[in-house]
Amino acid sequence: MRNSNQYNNSITISLERPKSIFRLNLGKNWFKFSRNTLSTIGLVIVVVIIVSAILAPWITPYPEHAGPFVDFDNTGQSPSLQHLCGTDNIGRDIFSRIIFAFRGALIMAVLVLAIAVPPGVLLGLIAGYLQNTWIDTVIMRITDIFLSVPPLILALAIAAMLKPTLMNAMIAVTVMWWPWYTRLVYGMASSVRNEYFVIAADLMGAGKFHILFREILPNCLSPVFTKMALDVGWVILIGASLSFVGLGEQPPIPALGQMVSDGARYMPTFWWMTIFPALAIVLTILGFNLMGDGIRDMLETGVE
Amino acid sequence: MEQATNNEILKIEKLKKYFHIGKGKKGPIYVHAVDGITLNIKHGETLGLVGESGSGKSTIAYTVVGMYRPTSGQIMFKGKNIGIEASKRSLSSKKEIQIVFQDPGSSLNPRQTIEQILALPFRIHTQMPKRQFREKMVELLEKVELSPDYLYKSPPSIGGGEKQMVAIARAMAPNPSLIILDEPTSALDVSVQAKIINKLIDLQKEMNLTYLFITHDLSLMRNVANRISIMYLGKICEVAESVTFFEKPLHPYTQMLISSVPVITEEEENLKPQKVISIGEIPSPVNIPTGCSFHLRCPYKIPICSKVDPEMIEFSPGHIVRCHLFAKLETKKE
Amino acid sequence: MKTEENILLNIKDLHVWYRVYGGYLKVLNGVHLMVREGERVGLVGEAGCGKTTTMKSILQILPPGDFHIPRGQIFYKGQDVLKMNFKEIQSLRSREIAMIFQDPTTALNPVFTIGSQIGAVIKYSATFEESVHKEKIKTQSIKALKEVYLPDPERMCINYPFQLSGGMRQRVCIAMAISSPRNLLIADEPGTSLDVTIQDQIHRLLNELVEKRNTAIILITHSLGVAREMTDRIYVMYAGTIVETTTPEVLFKNPVHPYTKGLLASVPKISGGGIAKGIPGKLPSYLNPPSGCRFRLRCEQESPICLEEPPQLFEIEKDHLVACYLTQR
């Protein structure tokens, strides 16, 4: 296979970068993902939720019910064709409110993860690389402290200290979310740093920045992405728990937990007021969890 | 025997590397991985290092390249003392000594492309601007007979032999003087091995390299190394020119290993010394027997072997052996 | 050819495909292999040529759902394994054929003691009628451990795998394979991950056990020297096909297939003389394998007929079969 004289100075022009240079490899990744039917179902659920949340004002039957709206003539309607999930105690369409509630939930989840994950990963990376030094001890013990506090209680405490708004609920959840990523990345980083390719880079003379971010970090990210996919579901649940006790979005903006709690006192006669929002929460978490399995399968590196 | 000549690129003197593994009743327990090695490598030669697992051969490699700090002893490279960890070494020492590891799968970052892997040595050790990297990388890949489109591939999608070629290309990139090859083909098939070994030999001539070649495969060693040294439990047993090593092995351990090499021709069978079967497990480098470390497995042992550790003796020019059986011979000569 | 009666395993024209992104990996392309009672068969070939796939097909342990067998039969004692029901296959695995895997560390369960793991093998190998007593299991386990020369077998039974060295673990795996009488052992590169002198000991041990019990063995190795010393017949495999098979004496003196010749030339010799250049090229892609002979792209003697059909094994002299058109004049 010798082609020695074929290459001259026009190398840089004639070489074609393959299409998959951005490593998306969509076709192959979809193949890996879709092997598992359940995760495909999860993906479908997630996509439906996200799309409906984005298009909420245009696809819900009663978009105005998600704002200040009152219709005492239509209160307590059971599920029907006009109101798929019935109406609540002020006459608002529950189905539309659920879709709008997804908006708040998703925005919160995305923002929480966007803010909590990078510092968590960074701390875990540094602690794992500097394992068995005082930096490692300090970082991990602080992490342990945060992890030892029951998450919901911490979130409640913080949200109760500040005013009960969505923003503050988010802050509360963010503060207790990063340690999981630190621990996750710590485990991976401390074993990756002993791999021969890291040692090779070190022996070659690479600086610490290169070793941390170009050698070790890329090998720690698969479980991080998988966890992020799963965490969207869990953040939504925590958010719902907070709004259940009144700490979160304030009425009239709909929030899933709040809808559950509002409807609870009308059980069992007006069961749809609680059950449908609760089902929505369950479906969301189920969808993200199932999808998370598929993401994990997709990100596994094996022999290709 | 140990005169410093200008010809020697690497001089290892009385190198010891002990690893602390805990506390025993009598005090801390150490693994005597390398227990007093004196070895020289001449410029341009291939020195072979042979031994079982636990003999310390990889530890020597790792200490020379800077992964470990010697417990005692000296390592001189081109006259400079490099017996310190890599992190404390100068950039030029890192450039001059390169290593190729045994397992190509774990010595290349699976999340990088070959281009990124090869860019590192260029970035660190040359002043070249980035635009010229690509050209140099293609040249390098050509040298190891890989086509330029390998630049965009990443390790998991290429075969073991090709990965090892990339590892070799990476080692050659900074233009080193000494390359340590730690069992570079042990994980590969015979036909791939042949290709890589031949390539290594060609490159050695072309780029004027010196090799420290470590393997357990004696037949391979015979065809690759100029001189061979054999190790047992952290000490060198015998050093000789390749041909002498196989034609006139002196140390009982050498004879034992050569006699159990699986061969495929009658011709080779006839060259092997009489069969000496090794008994029992390899003793661990923690509980080293007193006296000669090999005496428990030696079929020719004499009383002194269990009491005194033998010295290295020059049996004939260039042929060194560490065994009481030959010490008597030398004193008889005098 | 010898009589048909004592043929234990007969693989005929086996094709195995794996389902992957982009189609099928057509790994095995017509494997023919025969093992007689008590025969030591060596299977030699480079990594990725399909040796392990073939062995896994015999025991039906290929990854479920991802493989497809378009053609081929595996006859064990006259019965086609590929058509067996679950119970018959279980009986095959627990009483007839035992496999010794390449990496002893992953072959042993780290959370169970050695004794319980060997005991499990013995327990499941007993037929329904003769359910085995705990005491008998224990004595049989210790006997098996003794046969592989493990020191202090009673103590060994309560040890965990992590307490043993690699060589000892491999011996435990062998003990598990011989703990009850078997007709066929499959050893997949035993000791490859271990030191070469330990590998040597393991091979000798297997040899001794096999001769003592007249068990047949398929020894997969890529060391030709080992194959030469410890087999009665060698099958050379390339890219999912058997290219040559004969006795070791004949194979090493008179290799016929270009691949075998190239392979033997690449083996370093202790008599010196350098190493041949190896065989140019590499294994073909299984996704789009070349038509006809799979070796033709690397063969110096390629001729037009090689493109059409894959060559079949052809007996060029007594007991020496080669799959190459150029030798079938």
Is pLDDT at B235 greater than 60 in this prediction?
Answer: yes
| Domains present along chain C, CATH in parentheses | 7-327 (3.40.50.300)
**Is residue B3 very low, low, confident or very high in pLDDT (cuts 50, 70, 90)?**
very low
Pairing of β C184-188 and β C241-246: unpaired
Task: Enumerate chain C positions whose Cβ falls within 8 A of a Cβ in A.
Answer: 20-22, 280-281
The residues with which B48 forms a beta bridge, in sequence order, are B213, B228
Residue C150 has pLDDT above 50, yes or no: yes
Question: Residue C73: is its pLDDT beyond 70?
Answer: yes
CA distance A85 to chain B (A): 48
Are C21 and A31 within 8 A, CB to CB?
A: yes
Alpha carbons C317 and C251: distance in angstroms, whole number = 12
Chain C residues with beta carbon closer than 8 angstroms to that of B268: 269-271
Q: Find which of B120, B145, B182 to mutate to test the A interface (most A CBs within 10 Å of its CB).
A: B120
The pLDDT of residue B184 is 92
Note whether C270 contacts B191, CB cutoff 8 Å. Answer: no
pLDDT higher than 90, residue A186: yes
pLDDT of residue C44: 92
**By CA distance, what is A33's nearest residue in C?**
C21
- All residues of chain C having their beta carbon less than 8 Å from the beta carbon of residue B160 are 47
Q: How far apart, in whole angstroms, are the C-alpha atoms of residue C329 and residue C323?
A: 12
Residue linked to tokens 């304030």: A250
Whether the CB-CB separation of B169 and B145 falls below 8 Å is answered with no
Considering only the beta carbons, identify the residue of B159, B219, B282 that sits closest to C270: B219
Q: Which of A213-227, C63-77, C312-326 has the highest mean pLDDT?
A: A213-227
> Hey, which residues 231-290 in chain B have their CB within 8 Å of chain A?
none
Sheet holding B80-81, edge to edge: B27-42, B8-24, B72-77, B80-81
pLDDT (0 to 100) of residue B331 = 52
Quote the minimal CA–CA distance from C280 to chain A in Å: 8
Segment C105-117, tens digit of pLDDT: 888 999 999 999 9
Chain centroid, CA A258 distance in Å: 21
Alpha-carbon torsion (B164, B165, B166, B170), positive or negative = positive
pLDDT at C80 over 70: yes
Amino acid at B6: N
**pLDDT number for residue C248:** 92
Q: In the structure encoding, which two tokens stand for residue A166, read together?
A: 């969505």
**Other CB atoms within 10 A of residue B76 CB:** 17
pLDDT at residue B281, as a whole number: 57
For chain C, the average pLDDT equals 86
Q: Per-residue pLDDT averaged across B316-334, rounded? A: 74
Residue C203 and residue C226 in contact, taking contact as beta carbons nearer than 8 Å: yes
- Structure token pair of residue C292: 């006809």
DSSP B81: E
> Measured between CB atoms, does B303 come within 8 Å of chain A?
no
pLDDT digits (tens, 9 = 90+) for A9-64: 333 334 445 444 445 566 677 777 777 788 889 999 999 999 999 888 888 888 88
Q: What confidence score (pLDDT) does residue A8 get? A: 36
Query: Nearest by CB to B124, which of A17, A197, A206?
Result: A206
- B95 pLDDT more than 70: yes
Domain spanning B8-333: CATH 3.40.50.720: no
Residues 20-79 of A with CB under 8 A from C: 27-28, 31-32
Q: How far is A168 from chain B (nearest CA, A)?
A: 38
Max Cα–Cα distance, chain A, nearest Å: 87
Count how many Cα atoms sit within 13 Å of the Cα of residue B71 in the half-sphere of its side chain: 15
Q: How far apart are CA C103 and CA B124, in angstroms?
A: 39
CA C242/CA C311 separation, integer angstroms: 10
What is Dmax (Cα atoms) for chain C? Answer: 66
Chains B and C form CB pairs within 8 A to the count of: 123
The Cα angle at residue C298 between residues C293 and C304, in degrees rounded to 5: 50
Q: What is the pLDDT of residue A141?
A: 94
Write the DSSP string, C147-199: HTT-S-HHHHHT--GGGS-HHHHHHHHHHHHHSS--SEEEEESTTTTS-HHHH
Percent of chain B with pLDDT over 90: 36
Contacts of B226 (CB under 8 A, 6+ apart): B45, B46, B47, B48, B241, B242
pLDDT at B276 over 70: no
CA–CA min distance A300, chain C (Å): 15
The tens digit of pLDDT for each residue in B45-93 reads: 999 999 887 788 889 999 999 999 999 999 999 888 888 888 888 888 8
Is pLDDT larger for residue B55 or for residue C89? C89
pLDDT of residue C4: 55
A136-145, B23-32, C18-27: segment of lowest average pLDDT? B23-32
Share above pLDDT 90 across residues of chain A, in percent, rounded to a whole number: 32
Whether pLDDT at C3 is above 80? no
Q: What is the mean pLDDT of residues B291-298?
A: 81
Over range C168-197, report the average pLDDT.
Answer: 84
Residues 6+ positions from C238 with CB-CB distance below 8 Å = C45, C46, C49, C259, C294, C295
Q: Which residue has the higher pLDDT, C70 or A4?
A: C70
CA distance A28 to chain C (A): 6
Q: A53-63+94-299 — its CATH code?
A: 1.10.3720.10
- For residue A11, the chain B residues in CB contact (below 8 A) are 134-135, 138, 148
**Band of residue C246 on the pLDDT scale cut at 50, 70, 90:** very high
The three-point CA angle A182-A183-A189 to 5° equals 85
Burial per residue of B25-42, b for 16 or more beta-carbon CB atoms within 10 angstroms, e otherwise: eeeeebbbbbbbbbbbbe
- When pLDDT is averaged across residues B232-244 and rounded to a whole number, the result is 91
CA distance B216 to chain C (A): 7
Neighbours of chain B (3+ CB pairs under 8 A): A, C
What pLDDT score was predicted for residue C291?
Answer: 85
Residue A4: is its pLDDT beyond 70? no
Q: Where are the alpha helices (DSSP H) in chain B?
A: 57-65, 91-96, 104-107, 114-125, 133-143, 160-172, 190-207, 218-224, 242-247, 252-259, 266-271, 324-333
- DSSP single-letter state for residue B144: T
Checking if the pLDDT of C146 tops 70, the result is yes
How far is Cα B291 from Cα B311, in angstroms, rounded to an integer? 11
Specify the pLDDT at position B100.
95
Query: Is the pLDDT assigned to residue C294 strictly greater than 90?
Result: no
Q: Given this model, what pLDDT does residue B1 score? A: 38
Q: Does C223 touch chain B (CB under 8 A)?
A: yes
Q: Integer distance in angstroms from the first to the last C-alpha of chain A?
A: 23
| Nearest by CB: C272 against B198, B243, B258 | B243
Averaged pLDDT, A116-135: 93
Measured CA to CA, the distance from residue C209 to residue A216 in angstroms comes to 47
What pLDDT is attached to residue B263? 81
Q: pLDDT per residue over A196-239, tens digit each?
A: 999 999 999 898 999 999 999 999 998 999 999 889 988 888 88
φ/ψ (deg, to 5) at C24: -125, 140
Band the pLDDT of B278: cuts 50, 70, 90: low
Nearest-Cα residue of chain C relative to residue B284 = C165
Which residues, including other chains, have CB under 8 Å from residue A277's CB and lie 6 or more apart?
A: A94, A98, A101, A256, A257, A259, A260, A263
Domain positions in chain A: 53-63+94-299
Chain A: give the shortest CA distance to residue C66, in Å. 10
Question: B328-332, C104-108, C140-144: which has the minimum mean pLDDT?
Answer: B328-332
Cis peptide, bond prior to residue A252, ω within 30 of zero: yes
Q: Report the pLDDT value the prediction gives residue C219, as an integer from 0 to 100.
A: 93
CB-based contact B112 A218, cutoff 8 Å: yes
CB contact under 8 A, C266 and B218: no
pLDDT tier for residue A302 given thresholds of 50, 70 and 90: very low
Tell if the CB–CB gap between A1 and C280 is shorter than 8 Å.
yes
Residue found under tokens 């010490």:
B327
Per-residue burial over B322-331, b if 16 or more Cβ lie within 10 Å, else e, is bbbbbbeeee
Helix (H, G, I), strand (E, B) or coil at C31: strand
Q: How far is A221 from chain C (nearest CA, A)?
A: 23
Nearest CB among C197, C225, C265 relative to B263 is that of C225
- Among chain B residues, the shortest Cα distance to A217 is held by B111
**Residue C139: band (very low, low, confident or very high) from pLDDT cuts 50, 70, 90:** confident
The ipTM estimated for the assembled molecules is 0.87
Please state, in angstroms and as integers, the Cα–Cα distance from residue B179 to each residue in A93, A218, B175, B182, C77, following that order. 75, 28, 10, 10, 55
* pLDDT attached to residue A241: 86
- pLDDT band of A7, cuts 50, 70, 90: very low
Helix (H) or strand (E) holding C107: helix C104-107
pLDDT digits (tens, 9 = 90+) for A266-294: 888 888 889 999 999 999 999 999 988 88
Q: Which two tokens stand for residue B282?
A: 């390899």
The phi and psi torsions of C193 (rounded to 5 degrees) equal -80, 0
Beta bridge partners of A276: none
SS3 (DSSP) at B293:
coil
- Specify whether the CB–CB gap between B142 and A11 falls below 8 A: no
Mean pLDDT of C177-198: 82
Contact B194 C165 (CB under 8 A): no
Residues C228, B262: C-beta atoms closer than 8 Å:
yes
% of residues, chain C, pLDDT over 90:
23
**Residue B181, burial from CB neighbour count under 10 angstroms (0-12, 13-18, 19+):** buried
Question: Residues A27, A28, A31, CA angle at the centre, nearest 5°?
Answer: 90
Instruction: State the pLDDT confidence band at A6, using cuts at 50, 70 and 90.
Output: very low
